[in-house]
Amino acid sequence: EKTLVWFRRDLRSFDHAALHHALRQSRQVYCAFIFDRAILGTLPANDRRVEFIHASLLELDTALRELGGGLIVSHAWAEQAIPQLAAELGVDAVFCNHDYEPQAIARDTAVATALARDGRKLQSYKDHVIFEKDEVLSQSGKPFSVFTPYKNAWLKKLHTELAPTDMPAYEIDTLRAHFAPLQAALSGIPALSELGFEKTNLSELHIPTGMQGGQALFDDFIDRMPDYDSTRDFPAVKGPSYLSVHLRFGTVSIRALVRRALDAMRIGAGGTGAAVWLSELVWRDFYFMILYQHPHVHERAFKPDYDAIVWESGQHAIDLFQAWCDGLTGYPLVDAAMAQLNQTGYMHNRLRMVTASFLIKDLGIDWRWGERYFAEKLNDFDLSANNGGWQWASSSGCDAQPYFRIFNPLTQSEKFDPDGKFIRRYLPQLNKLSGKQIHAPWRVPALELQMAGITLGRDYPHPLLQHDEARARTLQRYAVVKKVS
Ligand code: FAD
């Protein structure tokens, strides 16, 4: 038997479900990655993610060569390229890992159909999550739509079905004899420029790529994991793991991360930090499950009544939205957060909640606009988590915050960036304001503003609106859903 392993968002050569099964079941295993024109065609030339993938593929190819194989890489339409490559190589099957996004499911169905025409099969495995689709169900056998009972059932299943020390690791190394050596004609990874993309500021930002990058970030985080619960909400503090982009592209193994968190929890001291971090990984599984079970969330509210909300529209809405995108709302924490996103492709979780809430519940803009902007900009963009986060903020999601809970951008700023350390990093023009003043420059007396070298409207915008008034408008806007909440 010959098999082709199709890599997609799982760019690693260890603990890889599809690769493991292919090596176990076949005599000769080929590996391929397609830069899919269907996806790349929609992205700007300076997309950081393409550079991240490209760098990670170079490393993956080297790693596979060391094991005796190598990576076939092409720039093509995946729906056609995979069946074609399978035919050229004369393989019996194509192996890959499950993808839960509606478009990916449609693509995989098309590939499976094309392969079947030639008597080949597409075989897919669970790899990106611990529990998927319908593996964690309520007692009545239904998918959960509330997180806490889901998490409890998830943890119970983990502890009863998998001994924590025995989280499966998919062995690759001992099966290396089954790799098919790569012929010269098939080798070679196109340069970034050949794909129509350019180098970005990824290396300036010190965002490490590939398996080594993921491992280095994780090693760095392990010592901080015990403090995660107390540090994770403060954007100026190095609290979180920064592993999201690696989880997105599979340069780390979710099983390895969970195994390590469980180890830390067992040790006792610092276990709370590890438990809270594990909870975040459970949220990730939760949103993958929600997207799979309720694919309509991609376009519509999880709770259908929320689709009746009337958002701001016309040029006025476009202007407000643009100011938010550009970090020109006049609310420093919101603007600094948007600058972080625009400059780095990352945004701290607390700030994702603050900026999303501000767009929806202060500016009255449809959450889908914000969702789309994050999807373009985030290095770690994942449809499931991004959609989950936006629907949480707009209160239309499965386990969202109630519609009448509206973040106050000032209180959030004072609480989570008390001295304005984060704000100063991205808005240096406000540097001379004190820790108290920096959250609301418009409240600073004119003379003090002048002494700090700031003219509102020139160095920094006047606030787009007053939060209290916006809050009242939002409560009115959400009145249409009052009866169902
Ligand atoms: P850590 O705090 O170290 O968490 C570890 C991992 O847990 C993350 O890498 C991520 O995989 C997972 N995780 C953490 N929080 C969540 C969550 N709320 N939902 C699902 N998974 C979570 N996360 C994405 O990976 N991609 C997105 O596109 C995305 N969009 C978001 C949009 C909004 C509006 C909001 C509120 C949140 C979004 N998140 C998204 C979730 C979260 O903000 C990021 O996962 C986190 O900030 C990434 O940083 P980290 O790796 O340092 O996280």
The pair of three-digit structure tokens given for residue 26, joined into one six-digit string: 């076949």
Burial environment of residue 126 by CB neighbours within 10 A (0 to 12, 13 to 18, 19 or more): middle
283 is catalytic: yes
Determine the distance separating the centroid of ligand 1 and the alpha carbon of 265, expressed in angstroms.
21
Residue 100 makes CB contacts below 8 A (sequence gap 6+) with 128, 132, 133, 288, 289, 291, 292, 384
Instruction: Render pLDDT for 258-279 as a digit per residue (tens, 0 to 9).
Output: 999 998 888 776 689 999 999 9
Task: Note the pLDDT of residue 263.
Answer: 87
Distance of CA 464 to the CA centre of its chain: 29
Asked if residues 357 and 393 have their Cβ atoms less than 8 Å apart, the reply is yes
Residues with CB under 6 A from ligand 1: 232, 240-244, 247, 280-281, 283-284, 287, 349, 352-353, 356, 374, 378, 380-382, 385-386, 388-390, 393
Residue 474 reports pLDDT greater than 60: yes
263 CB neighbour count, 10 Å cutoff:
13
Asked if residues 154 and 161 have their Cβ atoms less than 8 Å apart, the reply is no
- Average pLDDT of the residues in 429-440: 98
369 is catalytic: no
Task: Name all domains of the chain by residue range, CATH numbers in brackets.
Answer: 1-127 (3.40.50.620), 129-167+211-293 (1.25.40.80), 304-480 (1.10.579.10)
Beta bridge partners of 323: none
Residue 56 reports pLDDT greater than 90: yes
Task: Note the pLDDT of residue 485.
Answer: 47
Catalytic residue among 277, 324, 369, 390: 390
Catalytic residue among 6, 277, 367, 392: 367
Task: Note the pLDDT of residue 168.
Answer: 74
Spatial CA neighbour of 414 closest among 435, 394, 399, 431: 435
**Strand (E) or helix (H) holding 94:** strand 93-97
Asked if residues 349 and 239 have their Cβ atoms less than 8 Å apart, the reply is no
Task: Note the pLDDT of residue 184.
Answer: 80
Asked whether the ipTM of the predicted complex exceeds the cut of 0.90, the reply is yes
Determine the distance separating the centroid of ligand 1 and the alpha carbon of 117, expressed in angstroms.
40
The residue type of 171 is: E
Q: Which residue is closest in CA terms to ligand 1's atom 4?
A: 280
Spatial CA neighbour of 289 closest among 158, 389, 143: 143
Instruction: Render pLDDT for 67-103 as a digit per residue (tens, 0 to 9).
Output: 999 999 999 999 999 999 999 999 999 999 999 999 9
Question: Distance between CA atoms of 400 and 303, rounded to whole angstroms?
Answer: 10
Q: Mean pLDDT across the chain, nearest whole number?
A: 95
Whole-model pTM: value is 0.97
- Look at the chain and count its residues: 485
Atom of ligand 1 nearest to the CA of 242: 52
Catalytic residue among 280, 312, 376, 448: 280
Distance of CA 216 to the CA centre of its chain: 19
Instruction: Give, rounded to a whole angstrom, the gap between the first and last alpha carbons of the chain.
Output: 56
77 is catalytic: no
Q: What is the dihedral of CA 92, 96, 101, 107, to 10 degrees?
A: -30
Question: Distance between CA atoms of 18 and 433, rounded to whole angstroms?
Answer: 55
Atom of ligand 1 nearest to the CA of 281: 7
